[in-house]
Amino acid sequence: MAPSPLSSIVPVILSGGSGQRLWPISRELHPKQFINLISGQSMFQETAARLKGEPFSRPLVVCNDSHRFLVAEHLGDAGIEPNAIILEPSHRNTAPAAALAALILMRSDPDAVMLLAPSDHVIAKPEAFLAAIPIAAEAAAMGKLVTFGITPDRPATGYGYIQKGDAIDNIDGGFTINRFVEKPDAATAEKYIAEGNYYWNGGIFLFSAATYIKTLEGLRPDMVSACRKAVDDGRDDLDFFRPDTAAFESCEGESIDYAVMENTAIGAVVPVDMGWHDIGSWESLWQIGEKDADGNVT
């Protein structure tokens, strides 16, 4: 049964960073999402706080085992009680992480709707993002796998792009996807900006858990089988859930984009100008920081 667009949406926060970017302040045991880079809160806390209140229910977090106490501490300090904290035995990218979350949510609610969000992105216009959620939920209720297309403000070469297709009937602001394209060169990026129907791929998704698992099972049955066994043979450990290590590590790592979105006919995109930034380098942090008279950011 398709989920109602008015159903509660479970935020699934992906927090599996390895701390390799923004070194030396970001390190393997304390990656950048747990650092107060932009405000008085960590980016992880900002992500969780942004997805609090209607229409969201309590968040589910997928993180590295070594970060479990950081996740619990940052949620507690922000006054947010999680639905669950899932500990990945190994990093296997976003498609298996989302599968773990979907399978766990479906155990208690077969019609669960999930919003998949990385924990280390900045959204400077959260009201625009929240306004796009009901549009995406309507498309998800129609059985779509929805991604949010970030309105580009420059011909960036460090992001993948999404070309939007036709408008989806009866959903104002929802579109089919013509294609995903890899990180372009400068000339191609300028062409995309000029055409006006290309958006940055920010890696934020909204869909029914059941639709995601069904689609992934059709494309990568090995991945679903491994994740299902990892959940079935997993165990609770205090406030955490540990998927079975052997089962999960038998799963091949792949992103949702490669495993699913580039290979399905039910993808949809909701374009949104939400002041999105992927803080992946010192330069990107400088770009959004408050600069002094000499152009320096402290």
Task: Tell me the per-residue pLDDT of 110-163, one tens digit each, with 9 for 90 and over.
Answer: 999 999 999 888 899 999 999 999 999 999 999 999 999 999 988 988 889 999
pLDDT of 3 above 50: no
Give the model's pLDDT for residue 220.
97
Stretch among 42-46, 71-75, 121-125, 280-284 having the lowest mean pLDDT: 280-284
HSE on the CB side for 172, CA within 13 Å? Answer: 1
Using alpha carbons, list the distances in angstroms from residue 217 to 2, 143, 223, 288.
18, 15, 7, 40
Structure pTM? Answer: 0.88
Tell me the two tokens of residue 259: 């495993």
What pLDDT, in 10s, does the model give residues 186-223?
Answer: 999 999 999 999 999 999 999 999 999 999 999 999 99
Of 25 and 228, the structure prediction assigns the larger pLDDT to 228
When pLDDT is averaged across residues 54-79 and rounded to a whole number, the result is: 92
Question: How would DSSP label each residue in 139-156?
Answer: HHHTT-EEEEEEPPSS--
Helix (H, G, I), strand (E, B) or coil at 89: coil
Distance separating the N- and C-terminal Cα atoms of the chain: 52
Cα(163)–Cα(44) distance, rounded to whole angstroms?
A: 29
When pLDDT is averaged across residues 1-29 and rounded to a whole number, the result is: 63
Cα(101)–Cα(208) distance, rounded to whole angstroms?
A: 11
Give the model's pLDDT for residue 289.
63
Tell me the two tokens of residue 222: 């090995």
Amino acid at 41: Q
Show the CA angle centred on residue 186, arms to residues 173 and 270, nearest 5°. Answer: 10
pLDDT of 279 above 90: no
Question: How would DSSP label each residue in 13-57?
Answer: EEE---S-TTTTTSBTTB-GGGS-SSSSS-HHHHHHHHT-STTB-
What pLDDT, in 10s, does the model give residues 281-297?
Answer: 556 665 666 767 777 86
Q: What is the pLDDT confidence band of residue 1, given thresholds at 50, 70 and 90?
A: very low
When pLDDT is averaged across residues 17-26 and rounded to a whole number, the result is: 55
Residue recorded with tokens 């667009």: 5
Amino acid at 297: V
What pLDDT, in 10s, does the model give residues 217-259?
Answer: 999 999 999 999 999 999 999 889 999 999 999 999 999 999 9
CA nearest 12: which of 205, 142, 231? Answer: 205
Per the prediction, the chain carries an average pLDDT of 88
Percentage of the chain beyond pLDDT 70 is 85
Give the model's pLDDT for residue 295.
73
Contacts of 273 (CB under 8 A, 6+ apart): 125, 128, 150, 151
Give the model's pLDDT for residue 5.
44
